[in-house]
């Protein structure tokens, strides 16, 4: 096999054969194919796409590129959730302990930031001491004893995805269905949970910009999961504006804590309850309505917050930061974005807002970049809200003073104003079971 020839084949829009795809994934895993050829192939896939057979083979070979975790010791209780990515999406921090507090088992591998979207592992690393790398034995022990354990994708689990993910992040080849399906489903299949709930985001901050595109992505992933014997469903959730008000790693942990402690409601809480309800319905074999009721009661009773403290402590995190979130370091430079006009907020270019947060230091521009945990954006107004000229639209946080002026300019350009009242977007567009 000859990589330049395979890149050319895809560039010309032809389907790759099963043996060619399996050879490529093995070359990605063992390092024999260099970054530049993988990046070129990703770009060719981005423009030319893949058929369902190619996607199924790619997913299968990527899932088997490393260890397959065996969670059969938890029977039908093991449940996983995966988001296709968003801005301000801190749902795992709330849902994982919530579902565990209800008796399900969440042994979860999460990712880092990708493109303009944030990653759960980066967020968790903002809690001092939290260990994202654990051996399989400890991962399973914590899941058994606490009910929840969230780690980064180890070198051994779907290593082909690990390498591809890092390259896609910095080569603008993330938002393409074949690569998203194979990335997510290879990890979910290798991670071993019996039940899987997919959070497929849609809107200006998601990789899928329209509901039909998101449904197409969701149906492909659900079909692969079902063919592999998993209980699986997908919620199409709104990402036409950031979820909640915080964007950036420690800012998002603080917001997740506010929901867990019952001092914050709104879109973030409701999306978390919908996803958690679906996870409980699949893993505890109850109706979706019963799952939702149980999730709501457990969150509102404070049991999910208590479980979160147990979980973070079990992974070495300093729980005093959860009890007193004001301990998280605040960025050195804090500046308000002022509204240039009066009106209702009609639309937000959420991808642009995500890029602004990355520019302030909350995300990576190259594989080697270090994240600034305190950097990010706190929104003050979202779609449907009325603002007067001169009101604060958002507050920017950074430790790199030079990044402020550009973000101050960019943020108002991401907002569309209307003189007429605007409805808030629906939170859940579709459920695919
Ligand atoms: N999340 C993933 O794990 N992979 C993708 O490609 C997109 C979102």
Give 424 Cα–ligand 1 centroid separation in angstroms.
27
* Choice among 60, 80, 89, 161 that is catalytic: 161
CB atoms within 10 A of CB 172: 12
Q: In the prediction, which pLDDT does 292 show?
A: 98
> How does residue 39 score in pLDDT terms, banded at 50, 70 and 90?
very high
Using the atom order of ligand 1, give the atom closest to the CA of residue 207. 7
When pLDDT is averaged across residues 183-201 and rounded to a whole number, the result is 95
Which residue's CA is the closest to the ligand 1 atom numbered 1?
84
| Chain centroid, CA 192 distance in Å | 19
Is 429 catalytic? The answer is: no
pLDDT value of position 366: 74
Instruction: Confirm whether 183 is a catalytic residue.
Output: yes
Find where tokens 């060719």 sit: 44
Q: Is 82 tagged catalytic?
A: yes
| Known catalytic membership, residue 168 | yes
CB atoms under 10 Å from CB of 288, counted, come to 16
**Residue 76 pLDDT greater than 80, yes or no:** yes
The fraction of the chain above a pLDDT of 90, given in percent, is 92
- Mean pLDDT, rounded, for 31-56: 97
Mean pLDDT lowest among 137-141, 216-220, 363-367: 363-367
Give distance in angstroms: CA of 165 to centre of ligand 1: 7
Q: In the structure, what pLDDT confidence band is assigned to residue 169 with cuts at 50, 70 and 90?
A: confident
Q: What is the pLDDT of residue 390?
A: 97
Q: What percent of the chain clears pLDDT 70, i.e. is strictly above it?
A: 100
What is the mean predicted confidence (pLDDT) over 66-80?
94
Active site residue 161: yes
Determine whether the shortest distance from the Cβ of 180 to ligand 1 is under 6 A. yes
Kindly report the CATH number that applies to the domain delimited by 72-323.
Answer: 3.40.1030.10
Q: Is the pLDDT of residue 94 over 90?
A: yes
Specify whether the CB–CB gap between 246 and 376 falls below 8 A. yes
Say if ligand 1 is within 6 A of residue 111 CB.
Answer: yes
> 72-323: same fold as 3-49?
no
| Residue 265 burial (CB count, 10 A) | 10
Separation between Cα atoms, residue 411 and residue 72, nearest integer Å: 48
Q: What is the pLDDT of residue 139?
A: 94
| Helix, strand, coil tally for the chain in percent (to 5) | 50, 15, 35
Beta-carbon contacts of residue 128 (< 8 Å; ≥ 6 apart): 317, 318, 321
pTM of the model: 0.92
Q: How far apart are CA 322 and CA 312, in angstroms?
A: 9
CATH tag, 3-49: 1.20.970.10
pLDDT-based confidence at residue 171 (cuts at 50, 70, 90): very high
> Of ligand 1's atoms, which has the minimum distance to the CA of residue 179?
6
User: What's the confidence (pLDDT) of residue 140?
Assistant: 95
State in Å: Cα 121 to ligand 1 middle.
13
Given 3.30.70.520, 3.90.1170.30, 3.40.50.2300, 3.10.100.10, which CATH number is that of 329-418? 3.90.1170.30
Confidence of residue 112 (pLDDT cuts 50, 70, 90): confident
Q: How far apart are CA 173 and CA 40, in angstroms?
A: 10
Do 63 and 158 form a contact (C-beta atoms < 8 A)?
Answer: yes
The pLDDT value recorded for residue 37 is 98
**Ligand 1 geometric centre to CA of 184 (Å):** 5
- Ligand 1 site-directed mutation target among 45, 160, 162, 183, most atoms within 8 Å of CB: 183
**Residue 84 in contact with ligand 1 by CB distance below 6 A:** yes
Asked if 1 and 137 touch (Cβ cutoff 8 Å), the reply is no
Q: Take atom 6 of ligand 1 and give the residue whose Cα is closest.
A: 180
- Answer whether 46's CB lies under 8 Å from 38's CB: no
Per-residue pLDDT at 114 exceeds 90: no
DSSP-derived 3-state class of residue 285: coil
Query: Which of the following is catalytic: 82, 108, 162, 188?
Result: 82
Is pLDDT at 69 greater than 80 in this prediction?
yes
Distance between Cα 196 and ligand 1 center (Å): 15
**Average pLDDT for 70-98:** 95
Q: Is the pLDDT assigned to residue 327 strictly greater than 90? A: yes
The minimum-distance atom of ligand 1 relative to the CA of 184 is 3
Q: Which whole number is the average pLDDT over 276-282?
A: 98
| Domain assignments of the chain as residue spans, ordered by start | 3-49, 72-323, 329-418
Neighbouring C-beta atoms of residue 324, cutoff 10 Å: 9
């Amino acid at each position: 096999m000859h990589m330049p020839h395979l890149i050319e084949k895809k560039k010309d829009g032809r389907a790759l054969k099963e043996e060619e795809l399996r050879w490529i994934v093995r070359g990605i895993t063992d390092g024999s194919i260099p970054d530049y050829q993988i990046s070129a192939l990703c770009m060719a896939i981005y423009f030319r796409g893949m058929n369902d057979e190619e996607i199924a083979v790619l997913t299968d070979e990527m899932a088997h590129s490393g260890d397959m975790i065996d969670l059969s010791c938890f029977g039908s209780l093991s449940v996983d959730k995966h988001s296709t990515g968003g801005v301000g999406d801190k749902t795992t921090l709330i849902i994982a302990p919530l579902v565990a507090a209800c008796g399900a088992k969440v042994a979860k591998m999460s990712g880092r930031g990708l493109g303009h979207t944030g990653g759960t592992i980066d967020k968790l690393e903002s809690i001092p001491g939290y260990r994202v790398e654990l051996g399989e034995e400890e991962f399973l022990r914590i899941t058994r004893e606490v009910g929840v354990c969230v780690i980064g994708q180890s070198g051994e689990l779907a290593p082909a995805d690990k390498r591809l993910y890092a390259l896609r992040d910095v080569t603008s080849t993330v938002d393409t269905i074949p690569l998203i399906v194979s990335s997510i489903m290879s990890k979910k299949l290798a991670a071993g949970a019996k039940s899987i709930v997919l959070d497929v985001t849609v809107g200006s901050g998601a990789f899928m910009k329209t509901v039909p595109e998101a449904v197409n992505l969701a149906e492909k992933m659900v079909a692969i999961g079902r063919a592999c014997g998993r209980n699986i469903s997908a919620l199409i959730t709104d990402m036409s504006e950031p979820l909640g008000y915080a964007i950036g790693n420690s800012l998002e942990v603080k917001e997740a804590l506010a929901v867990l402690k019952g001092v914050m409601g709104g879109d973030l809480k409701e999306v978390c309850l919908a996803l958690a309800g679906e996870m409980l319905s699949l893993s505890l074999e109850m109706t979706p309505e019963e799952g939702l009721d149980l999730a709501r009661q457990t969150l509102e009773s404070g049991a999910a917050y208590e479980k979160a403290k147990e979980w973070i402590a079990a992974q070495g995190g300093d729980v005093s930061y959860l009890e007193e979130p004001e301990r998280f370091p605040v960025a050195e430079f804090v500046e308000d974005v002022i509204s240039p006009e009066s009106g209702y907020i009609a639309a937000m270019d959420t991808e642009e807002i995500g890029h602004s947060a990355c520019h302030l230091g909350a995300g990576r521009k190259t594989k080697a970049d270090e994240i600034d945990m305190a950097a990010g954006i706190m929104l003050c107004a979202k779609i449907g809200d009325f603002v007067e000229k001169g009101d604060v639209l958002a507050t920017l946080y950074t430790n790199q003073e030079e990044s402020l002026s550009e973000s101050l300019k960019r943020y108002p350009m991401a907002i569309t104003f209307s003189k007429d009242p605007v409805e808030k977007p629906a939170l859940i567009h579709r459920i695919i079971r």
